[in-house]
Structure 1
Amino acid sequence: MAETRESESRKLLGRLRDVMADRAAGQERLDQITHLIADSMKTEVCSIYLFRDDETLELCATEGLKAEAVHQTRMRLGEGLVGRVARTSTLVNTPDAPKARGFRYMPETGEEIYSSFLGLPIQRLGETLGVLVVQSKAAREFSSDEVYALEVVAMVLAEMAELGAFVGEGAALKARHQQSVLLRGTTAQEGTAEGHVWLHEPRVVVTNPVADDPVKEKSRLEEAVDLLRVSVDQMLEGAQNGDGEQLKVLETYRMFANSKGWMRRMEEDIDNGLSAEAAVEREQSVARTRMAKATDPYLRERLHDLDDLSNRLLRILTGQGRETGAEMPPDPVLIARNIGPAELLDYGRALKGIVLEEGSVGSHAAIIARALAIPLVIHATRITTEALNGDHIMVDGDQGNVHLRPDDTVTAAFRDKIAMQAAAQERYASIREKKCVTLCGQRIELHMNAGLMADLPSLEGSGAEGVGLFRTELQFLIRAQMPRRSELSSLYARVLDAAQGKPVVFRTLDIGSDKVLPYMKTIDEPNPALGWRAIRVGLDKPGVMRMQLQALLRAACGRDLHIMFPFVAQYEEYTRARAEVDKTLAREARLGHTLPDKLRVGAMLETPSLAFAPIQFFRDVEFISIGGNDLKQFFFAADRENELVRRRYDTLNVSFLSFIERIVERCDATNTPLSFCGEDAGRPVEALCFAAIGLRSLSMRPASIGPVKSLLMRCDLREVRKVIHDARHRGAQSVRPAVMDWLRENAG
């Protein structure tokens, strides 16, 4: 039976290959395919349904149903048996279709006379492109051999669709990679960018899904797998001195690379008519389908490893990948499923924008993108499958939208927006050297956030008065091992040199939550944002804290130094951290090192609890910086990584502003310098409200300083404060509408 299945499958695939080689137009090709499948399967009906859009399937070709139904019959995802196959990505095989769950009668097709139904998803690497259906009058369930043959055919159809085999004069559908696509994601770094796609991991395109020499194909597969095993062994040898997590992943790679079952299944696919590449992809698709349904995190991770290994094997077989010599465009927009901080830094400022399928607003990639001022959109579903190298792309980091292969209308509107932003930046340049003083004469200090040496030129270009937050964790995140004290000291010294006397506030190591060091043992926490992170890690591992403090003190070498501890939740944490500073100072003095001229030690207020600390805390701490991003999520109990809730709560909510006002009052009472640091500080309307309730120092990304300064210099804070007070008195939930009305009337 297996021999029969192999020969019949090969015969059918051979006929499919002949259709692919034919110069027929797209619709004619589809018609030929449905005819030959129905003929080979000995069924009265074969139909191909393809996605018209994300939610709609369209009958694009049929043998046996009414011809007039083609391109007229459509169904929603999940509707009928065909929609059920598309939604679940699983086959439906029933001898009595009208009685099957979800059946929908469609009179225009004439299918009511057919009883048996077999429908399978047409999918490539887990992405469903359509549904392949065969039907017959006789009430029977299709055999496993018939199902297998149709599965192989469905996969080849997916490859043909990817190659544009159904496109041309009289085509059934528009070329998949020629359509304009709007993808909606999540803003991780604001800004706009236009450029051309550069895929971090280019898709492997299988151009030869069908092969008629199984011996040759199995030999090619064996050679490629041997090379894969060697490369995995080499990676393992190189990682022997690395951390345990990396070794575990590579051991899993080795296990899969040496799996006899994996090899046997691919060889069986080749025996049935597939090329070596198509056989690898078929098993990869099976793994991805299982991955999508797996609820066990361990199983999902292992399936992900197999997926990654399959990609490596495909690159060996096809010679495709980054090493092929393809040139990056002059205006690259990086597209990736996800990317690590070191890899992103390798690209540097050459990138115009970044679009990721995964990621988070607090991820390493987002931190680097903010540091480099590169627009970043995350959660852009399907971008790696929709985009091809060189595609025209426009990234709207302000709205979280990505326009892939945009039409002329979208392009013109987008370029108008970029031109308006450029004109605004020119206006801001005229006030760059001016101090920020409001109409009522109030002085507001505007500082910038940084994390890389590459950020420091923005000090002069933006008009920032100093660095209100220098993120020190980036130097730890981008390395495979803990940096040396001497390396850190040298870096911090260069930062102070580049600041040319302007103040720089160094935030000590802020790791944990979504910032995990590659060489540090990962701790599985149910809610890492509320877990072992930042100062909690530093106090539990004082050796790391002391090493960083020593590096900072030596870098200052007689200059002023500002050190800030992150995520302080109670007074006692600050006193313990401050004691470590004093001990380190004493040790440095004993060693004869030059101490800072002035040392100020502060805390980030990111938890509501610290606002209610004893008054002695406010007297002892030398400055406080409100960490707006974390404080807001904890205040509203709304995870800033969760799209369902993160936009639900307004920064200008009366309760949140009242809370910040209380912090301002406590700092005023103890004469404690206070600033606000975070994304909201760089939003002009929010910055205006913060200034109106008493904040006199704001820290933001460099590009935001111009817009914030421009608005503040045109406003009277006394009037804005009255608007806020009146809105609160009226019982408004947010002061935003009232402030916006006032701005329209008074600020031009």
Structure 2
Amino acid sequence: MAENHESDSRKLLRALRQTMAEAEAGQERLDRITRLIAGSMQADVCSIYLFRDAETLELCATEGLKPEAVHQTRLRVGEGLVGRVARFHRPINTDDAPSQHGFRYMPETGEEVLASFLGVPIQRLGETLGVLVVQSKEARIYSEDEVYGLEVVAMVLAEMAELGAFVGEGAALSAPHQRPETFQGGIGQEGAAEGRVWLHEPRVVVTNPVADDPEAEVARLRQAIDELRVSVDELLAVSAGGDAEQLQVLEAYRMFANSKGWMRRMEADIARGLSAEAAVEKEQSTARARMNQVPDPYLRERLHDLDDLSNRLLRILTGQGSETGAEMPDDPILRATNIGPGELLEYGRKLKGVVLEEGSVGSHAAIVARALAIPLIVNAQRITTEALNGDHIMVDGEQGVVHLRPDDSVVSAFRDKIAMQAQAQKRYASIRDKPATTRDGVTVALHMNAGLMADLPSLNGSGAEGVGLYRTELQFLTRAHMPKRSELVEYYARVMNAAAGKRVVFRTLDIGSDKVLPYMKPTDEPNPALGWRAIRVGLDKPGILRMQLQALVRAAEGRPLTVMFPFIAQWDEYRAARAEVDKVIARER
């Protein structure tokens, strides 16, 4: 591959595609691939290491080392040069391997002390699946073109692995998306749930990573980019004058969509033999790998924008949209990268639980999940690349753990836990209609919390005497714009009607701190939790408070109305808020 690297690269990729098309066992396919790469790179050794578990790499195929070392030689992540490639997700290229920091000589492989070493990560969408290595006795630094070419080959190997081309015996060659997996995340809402995975955004699978006609692939890519640019411009036109943060994201989309560097890199990948889809995914995988290493939050956000834009471009190229024909299971647990509160509300109580790869415990989605009382796990890393529609999944919202395709022992223990919780619920149900009276004769009224219309049907069955706190901010948080007064009147009237005469305490808008309206500019202050929030926002923006109070009074239509003000810290705040209520009542008479 040292000379005429472009044609050699395409020739090698075509050979890989032919290997993938032929009916042979996964091990035989890997063995043939190492021979092809060693010959193309004019290397004495070519080896493929794949992960057998999260921390261990296993030699799965080699040309030039002892065959008996295959599936016997293993390295921890960070151990030796191979382990360092896996840990840092970037190539190592040296003409004096023994002098490199972290070098480990492995006599069991029968290797001589080979001078040259080039290792590149086999990665897909930012997840490292293994390491591809070429070595030579001759001391040489591989050229930038050769390194780049080997990265392209590694990307194709990653796609082949995703398609199940290397399935064989042993953990390292197990079928993808079949093994039990456990993910640790943050607790957005407590609870336990068992069900089947439902993908909020179906996975895009590249089934044709190699192409024969670079010119045709470049034309397809440019056409898709043009379509992407038009869609971004349309989104910007619709959002003009809207939320500044949303506009900033869309402007970043437009910047990337018009990036000549992005286009140039993808065209270079196509010139080496990749299809348009594979070229996009290679750039996306590189961006995701960077995203995990960049500490600056602004740069991470921009790389996230590029990742999302790549997904849009892949859907245009593959035609794999959101409508896949799959039917939602009876016990769906939603898996998503992230999700907005409005989208989560559309699913409603059909969901048994939610697992997000991103998100935070203070996000709007977490607020809605708490209102719906469905378990939510956030920051479950790698869940989006591993979980498939219909996979068995168990969500432990008390420990922040997700069990994907769990084995029998985990299933048994988890179901025992759910059964114990169900027994506790039965005990609570048996005493719910009894008065909460203390031994000295004082009866305490028990009320429920609510924030959605979906909560109200459970009022009668809960044993509660009313709603002690109705959170009104959810109707503001789940919209892209301020709700109209008439909409609030209709909504609050439905709440009171559903309560059927039982007392409902409406808390006025509680925003600020971690609850920021998408159409209201957040205030930058050192301690937002104790600063400009809740009733202080209402008093500073009396138009919003008056509109909400007017809607409540009109919805009551003469019925008893109870209003709570959030986060009162001083007597003056209560007095000013109460004065607003009195003004509204006087005007509405």
TM-score of the pair, normalised by structure 2: 0.95
Once the two structures are superposed, residues 420-459 of structure 1 have per-residue CA deviations (whole angstroms, 9 ceiling, x without a partner) of 4334433433323222235665533322111111111111
Greater mean alpha carbon deviation, residues 494-503 or residues 119-128: 494-503
**1:525: how far off?**
4.7
What is residue 330 of structure 1 aligned with on the other side?
A: 330
| Alignment partners' CA distance in 2, 1:198 and 1:349 | 14
Q: How does 1:456-535 map onto structure 2 within 5 Å?
A: 456-525=456-525, 528-535=528-535
Aligned residue identity for 2:380: A
State the distance in 2 between where 1:186 and 1:304 align.
Answer: 20
For the pair 1:419 / 2:419, whether they are aligned, the reply is: yes
- The answer to whether the 8 Å contact 1:27/1:170 transfers is no
Change (3 A) 1:92 1:423: same
**Alignment-derived partner of residue 221 in structure 1:** 221
| Alpha-carbon offset, residue 530 of structure 1 | 4.3
Q: CA deviation at 1:3?
A: 8.8
Contact 2:214 2:273 in 1 (8 A): yes
Compared CA separation, residues 277 and 441, structure 1 to 2 (3 A) = same
Question: SS of 1:150's equivalent?
Answer: helix
| 5+ long unaligned stretches in structure 1 | 593-748
Relative to 1, partners in 2 of residues 1:442 and 1:65: Cα closer, same or farther, differing over 3 Å? farther
Q: Looking at both structures, which has the greater relative contact order when contacts are Cα pairs under 8 Å and sequence separation is at least 6?
A: 2
Q: Do the aligned residues in 2 keep the contact of 1:395 with 1:401 (CA within 8 Å)?
A: yes
Q: Which 10-residue stretch deviates more, 418-427 or 95-104?
A: 418-427
Q: Deviations over 1:690-728 (max 9, x none)?
A: xxxxxxxxxxxxxxxxxxxxxxxxxxxxxxxxxxxxxxx
State how 1:201-216 maps to structure 2 within 5 Å. 201-216=201-216
Say yes or no: does 1:396 pair with 2:392. Answer: no
SS of the residue corresponding to residue 334 of structure 1 reads: strand
Counterpart secondary structure, 1:536: helix
Give the root-mean-square deviation of aligned CA atoms. 2.1
Counterparts of 1:65-464 in structure 2 under 5 Å? Answer: 65-168=65-168, 172-438=172-438, 441-464=441-464
Task: Say if 1:25 and 1:170, in contact at 8 Å, map to a contact too.
Answer: no
Change (3 A) 1:2 1:142: closer
Separation (CA, whole Å) in 2 of partners of 1:232 and 1:512: 30
Q: 1:467 to 1:205 in 2, by over 3 A?
A: same
Measured at CA, do residues 159 and 368 of structure 1 come closer, stay the same or move farther in structure 2, by a change above 3 Å? Answer: same
Q: Is the 8 A contact 1:294 1:300 kept in 2?
A: yes
Question: In structure 1, the residue corresponding to 2:428 is in which secondary structure?
Answer: helix
- Alignment check: 8 A CA contact 1:535 1:567 kept: yes
Offset, 1:260:
2.6
In the TM superposition, residue 302 of structure 1 has moved relative to its aligned partner by 2.0
State how far apart, in whole Å, the 2-side matches of 1:171 and 1:407 are.
15
Corresponding residue number in structure 2 for 1:24:
24
> Which consecutive unaligned segments of at least 5 residues does structure 2 have?
none
Change (3 A) 1:403 1:172: closer
> In structure 2, how many angstroms separate the alpha carbons of the residues matched to 1:39 and 1:274?
20
CA–CA distance in 2 between the matches of 1:512 and 1:155?
Answer: 45
- 1:176 counterpart SS class: coil
Q: Tell me what 1:546 maps to.
A: 546
CA distance in 1, matches of 2:553, 2:3: 76
Higher mean C-alpha displacement, 181-190 vs 94-103: 181-190
Q: Secondary structure at the match of 1:75?
A: strand
Q: What is the count of residue pairs matched by the alignment?
A: 589
Deviation at residue 531 of structure 1 after TM alignment: 4.2
Secondary structure of the residue aligned to 1:113 is coil
2:335 counterpart SS class: strand
The CA deviation at 1:469 is 1.5
1:348–1:372 CA contact under 8 A, matched in 2: yes
Q: Which shifted more, 227-236 or 469-478?
A: 227-236
Deviation per residue, 1:52-107 (Å, 9 max, x gap): 22222222222222223222222222222112111111111111111112222333
Change in 2 beyond 3 A, CA 1:530/1:140: farther
SS at match of 1:517: coil
Q: Distance in 1 between matches of 2:525 and 2:209?
A: 44
Check the 8 A contact 1:355/1:378 in 2, yes or no.
yes
- What is the DSSP-based 3-state SS (H/G/I as helix, E as strand, rest coil) of the residue aligned with 1:177? coil
Greater displacement, 569-578 / 194-203: 569-578
Q: Cα deviations across residues 670-697 of structure 1 (Å, max 9, x unaligned)?
A: xxxxxxxxxxxxxxxxxxxxxxxxxxxx
For the residue of structure 2 that corresponds to 1:457, the secondary structure is: helix
Indicate how the Cα distance of structure 1 residues 447 and 361 shifts in structure 2: closer, same or farther if over 3 A, else same.
Answer: farther
TM-score when normalising by structure 1: 0.75
Q: Distance in 2 between matches of 1:244 and 1:399?
A: 37
3-state SS of 1:327 partner: coil
Q: CA 1:279/1:460 → structure 2, altered by over 3 Å: closer, same or farther?
A: same
* 1:170–1:413 distance in 2 versus 1, CA, 3 Å: closer
Aligned-partner residue type, residue 490 of structure 2:
S
Aligned to 1:605: none
Does 1:537 pair with 2:537?
Answer: yes
